[in-house]
Every structure is written in C-alpha cells, then in structure tokens.
Structure 1
Amino acid sequence: MTGIAATAAPHQRPVERAGSFQVDGQTLRYTEFGSGPRVVVLTHGQLMTRTMHAPLARSLAATGFRVLTLDLLGHGGSDRPTESWRYSMTTWATQVVALLDHLGVERAVIGGTSLGANVTLEVAVAAPDRAVGLVVEMPVLDNAIVAGLLAFAPLLFTARFVPHAVRGLAALARRVPRGRQWVDTVTETLSQEPAAMAAVVHGIFFGRIAPPTTLRTAIQVPALVIGHQRDPIHPFGDAHMLAGELPRAEFVEASSPVELRFSPARLTATIVRFLDERFAAAGIAG
C-alpha cells in the first residue's frame, strides 16, 4: 500500500492503518480499521474529515468488518487544489471507487453522511457492480436546496472576500490540544484553506447536488436510509423521499441529528444487522 503507516492501537481496538493513494495526480488519504473480506467505505460531510466516522468505524471493525474512512479531495489530509472544477459529487464518487481499486477490493458496502450520502448515491449510479449495499445518512436533496444556499453561501463569500478570517480561525483551531474525538473533528473542520474551501463550496453549488430522481429510482443496490427531524439542511423529507424512490430501501428514523454520534447503540446495531444481511446475500463471509 502507498504511504501506509501502521498505528499501535489499544488492545480493545482493531488495528488501524493510515494510507494514501493518488487519483489524477492528487493525493487522497484514508484510514483502515480492522481486516477481512467484508469491506465498508464511509465518507464524511461537507468540509469535515474522515475522523467524524472513526467511532462508528471502530465499532464496525470490532464486529468483524474492514472499514475504510476516506478524506475526499479538498478535505482533511487529502490534497486541496484551488480549482473549483476539480470538485463535484461525481468526481468524489470516482475517488471512492479508486480507493477500492487501490486496495484490490472488488465489492463493498458504500456509506456516507450528508455530502458523503450524496456521493454514495453517485457511486451506486456510476458503479453499481462495486456496491454490495448503501448506507445513506442525511442525504441532501430537493427539500434542502434553499437552506443549503442560506447556510453555505456565506462560507463561499467569506472564503473569497475575507480570507484572513478563515486563516485566523484555522490558526486558532490548530492551537487546540488534540486527542479527543469530537474536539479533533471540529478543529480539523475549522482548519480550512480559504481558496480551497471556496473552490469546494463553489464546485458543489454549481454542479450536480445528487443524482436526479430518474436515476435514483433506477438504483437497484439495497440501501439503508437514515433520516431525522429538526434539521433544515438535512430535511427529514429528503431522507423519507429517497427511501420511497429507491426500489430496495429500508428507512430508519434517527431520534436526532446527533444520535449516531453521541448515543449510537441503536443505530449502530441497525447498521450491523444491515451489513450482515448484505454480505450474506452477496456470499461474502466474515
């Protein structure tokens, strides 16, 4: 593997390895949790990093899955080019497939949250033969467009016209001591580079947010869709609508936007059950 650095994890945790690979001349970084043939790929939300999925990845790895968390281009430890044309849901989907190719994985369950949920749908459209199943948490579809514009347009304006504010916040974030899960996730999210951040947001706004309904209704890969109330950027209606559109979908309502982050037992058990079923149906034994 390119750039692999094995991490000595505590005995109660599965082995974790950090690695990197290249796509179109850009370096992408990932972490691998656990081992075995039952592979799960998890991708993060907009402007966040792969560390947001570390707790879930460890839980799944402890149950016998091999979990890969990926920093998509423009995020976390991956390269952050400043050209907006490099960023789109479809391009990020090709990076997920490239990670599977890099590691010699034929098929995996593909999952993600928010931006990662939309990328997951794009993988199902572009490379359905590589997906054993989909885990789609908080997709951003038709009902989220206005709230998304209101939330992220100021970020684009700030990154373009007040870059010193972004750099100042990043400098403060880098001074925060590391070592706690959500402190690390927040500080990494705040550690932005203005030009790259603007390019990412610009690429999302002016590209395809998600596969259109005509393509979503044709996705035959079994999916677990997770939605919740009280979040305008990730409306319950989008998740519920998606579950109705996908021919082979199961819908689960989370109690809040942070249930899987701070009270994960119920949803993690549901995800594990879904993964067991999908790999068993695909004939991939643990």
Structure 2
Amino acid sequence: MLVSERIGQFFLEGEAGRDRLEYTEYGAGDAWVVLVHGQLMPRRMHQPLARALAAEGLHVVTLDLLGHGRSDRPEDPLVYSMTAFGEQVVALLDHLGADQAVVGGTSLGANVSLEVAAIAPERVRGLLVEMPVLDNAVEAGILAFAPLLFAARFLPVTVHALRWATRPVPRGLVPFWAGIALDTCDQRPGAMAATVHGIFFGRVAPSARQRRAITAPALVVGHPADPIHPAADAAMLADELPDARFVQATSILEWRARPERLDREAADFALECWGTRAGQRRTVG
C-alpha cells in the first residue's frame, strides 16, 4: 500500500540561537506515532517501519534530533542531553498540532521516548521502545563511543576522511541498511564530539523511580547477544513499567532483515493505543 510522504521542518529558539530540525511525515490522520533514530544515525533508518505503520492507517513522523541527519548540528555540548532531545520531540508535537502520540525509537531513540514520558506524560499515548540503554549497558556504551569522542576531538581528520570517502556513494545503488551505515558516517567532528559528550556526561535515561511512574502502555523489544543493548535492560524496563509487554527478537538483525513479525507487533500495539487499550501483560518469544 502506497502512503503519502512529506518532509517538513521547524525551528527551536535557544540561548545559543535558532536551530532547525527536519522530519518526515508518512500517512495522515489523528493517530500519531513519532519514531526517533539511534545515536548518530539519521531518521531514514525508520523509513521501512514508518511506511508499514502508515499503511495500517497511522500518522507516522520520523525526526532528526539536533546534531543528527539533516537537522542543524551545533558544536556546543551544552545543547545536547537526553532531556533536551525529549523536549525536541514535545516541540515537534506542538508544531504538528498533535496533542498525543505513540512515541518510540531505537537505542538513543528508546531512551528519548522514556524521557518524553517522564517530562510530558500527558503527551504520550504509548511507548514503542527497542533496545533501551540502561544500567546493564553503561560499560559497553562507554567502550563503544569513547573512541568516537576521542577521534572527533583529537583526530578530526579521521572523521573528515570517512565523510569524504562515503558521501559520493549513491545511496540508491546499495542495499537500504548499507545506505544507512553510509549516512551514519556523514559526521562533522565538532558536532559529533559535542553530541557524544553531551549524552554521556548527562543522565542517560530517567531514573528507575521515574520509569516506574510511567503509566502509558509500552511495547518493549529486546534482543540477545548485543552488549550495548543487552536484553536484560529491555526485560528490566518491561518489568518496571506498570503497563508493558515484552517482545524478544531473535537477534538485532530481525527487525532489519525479516521485519514482518515485529512490524506486526508494533502496528498492533500502536493501533491498540489509539483504540482499546489492553492492560494485560504478555510476553512474546
């Protein structure tokens, strides 16, 4: 089923100036879903899921957070934090005139979704959370992203070189996820360092006490054998949230290579949030 797709933008006024954020809308109507990308990745990573959800009648929006994709990329670490990202999602809802949305995302986007539920619970119809980064992922996250921060700060030529090498590759000639990897390599050293610094030297997610106070229904997706996004964090989150169901993917690749099952789970959940909510917890293996 073909759905309409529209690119939009809005502006945030801050102490450092005016920042532009870009988003894509899929479909139409009042059953809003907002999807947020992973760290350093573009919003286009959620294009397949957005199209699948829009085909079910949902109005889906994917957003490039500040410092990512085609949004502005300031080089001040103070503008980057999980709370600031959550506020950007709320500002998007204000811009769209959406009172509520199912808010979800992957990795960084999962944590941002939790932040939105913590700072603006009245705007969250439901949470669609894949690969949250919580207590069990701290060490692996530092090991994964500290070298990126070091390279961006002290070896910026490596970041420039990777960008120059990957930008000329036509995205239409490579598989979709290879194109996302190429887009993720399109970084600027100053903005990249500021983004990683801002995230890792602030709070990574709402506290366990705040998470337990989130009343919105949630679908939490985790997968095994992923040290940065351990399944234990996803399972723990599903236990903490009062109205959550846990879905275990076969691996990190399932939603990328064979998305049908998880697309169906996500669509059923979002439609349920906008129709009849089911409070009963269930686990899907």
Give the TM-score of the pair, scaled to structure 2: 0.94
Aligned to 2:74: 81
Note the alpha carbon deviations across 1:150-186, whole angstroms, 9 max, x for none. 1100000000000011001001111111225223211
1:19 alignment partner, one of 8, 29, 48: 8
RMSD, aligned α-carbons: 0.9
Provide the rounded CA distance (Å) in 1 between the counterparts of 2:276 and 2:240: 22
Provide the rounded CA distance (Å) in 2 between the counterparts of 1:281 and 1:109: 14
Would you say the 8 A contact 2:215–2:243 is kept in 1? yes
Query: Which shows bigger deviation, 232-241 or 181-190?
Result: 181-190
Uncovered stretches (5+) of structure 2, i.e. residues with no partner: 278-285
SS at match of 1:255: coil
Aligned to 1:211: 206
Aligned to 1:119: 112
Aligned to 1:90: 83
Aligned to 1:3: none
Aligned to 1:134: 127
Uncovered stretches (5+) of structure 1, i.e. residues with no partner: 1-11
Note the alpha carbon deviations across 1:128-147, whole angstroms, 9 max, x for none. 11111000000000000000
Alpha-carbon offset, residue 272 of structure 1: 1.1
Provide the rounded CA distance (Å) in 1 between the counterparts of 2:231 and 2:248: 8
2:58 alignment partner, one of 55, 59, 65: 65
Aligned to 1:8: none
Aligned to 1:236: 231
Provide the rounded CA distance (Å) in 2 between the counterparts of 1:189 and 1:182: 10
Question: Is 2:31 aligned against 1:42?
Answer: no
Provide the rounded CA distance (Å) in 2 between the counterparts of 1:164 and 1:117: 31
Letter in 2 for 1:164: V
Would you say the 8 A contact 2:58–2:271 is kept in 1? no
Provide the rounded CA distance (Å) in 1 between the counterparts of 2:271 and 2:48: 19
Aligned to 1:181: 176
Give the TM-score of the pair, scaled to structure 1: 0.93
After superposition, residues 258-269 of structure 1 pair within 5 angstroms as 258-269=253-264
Aligned to 1:225: 220
Aligned to 2:92: 99
Letter in 1 for 2:213: A
After the TM superposition, which parts of structure 1 deviate over 3 Å for at least 4 consecutive aligned residues? Answer: none
